[in-house]
Amino acid sequence: MSKGMSEHRYPTRSLIEDYARGAAGLVFLAIALVPMHWALHLIFGLVAALLLAFGVRTILRGRSRILVDDDAITVEGPRARRIAWPALAGLKLRYFSTRRDRKRGWMELTLTGPGATLTIESQIEGFETIVRRAARAAAESGLAVDPSTEGNLAALDIPVPRGAELGRMVPG
């Protein structure tokens, strides 16, 4: 790893919990194979498909690592992608609440660049470091962000990029 580069992975505990959810898809698949009314087959089959897709997504996340340096953000693994910081075309930071009081939930950072989109969830180790670097790159490029992203950056105490022109604002 070069100087100034940080490496980020999803923690094992988070992955294990997600693997368990994906394995639940196998249970629904087994139930869908039991003789029953066709409508129940459809329901259990759809739930199984969703949970199995979640399991595949978890496997891909577990086999990936994210590298952040002064030049770019890179995902190494099964779905390798790279966005050079000067080519950053979009930054969105979303908060998803699991409760009405909005006290529990997670964030999702989406970065877009030429031919690549990266989505990183807040469960990853060093999430705030990644967001901070991405926000700095957005500011250096003159990108503006939508009001939702502004509020979420402020909640993390990260300076909000102010676009040089409204036309460079990331579509929400």
Q: CA of 111: how far to CAs of 14, 85, 105, 145, in Å? A: 22, 10, 20, 11
Mean pLDDT, the chain cut into blocks of 10 residues (172 residues total): 72 75 73 80 81 80 88 91 96 88 84 94 92 95 92 91 54 46
Closest CA to 145 of 85, 87, 91, 84: 91
Contact 55, 48 (CB under 8 A): no
Domain regions of the chain by residue span:
7-62, 66-168
pLDDT of residue 74: 94
For residue 56, report the phi and psi dihedrals to the nearest 5 degrees: -65, -45
Please give the Cα distance from 32 to 20 (Å, whole number): 19
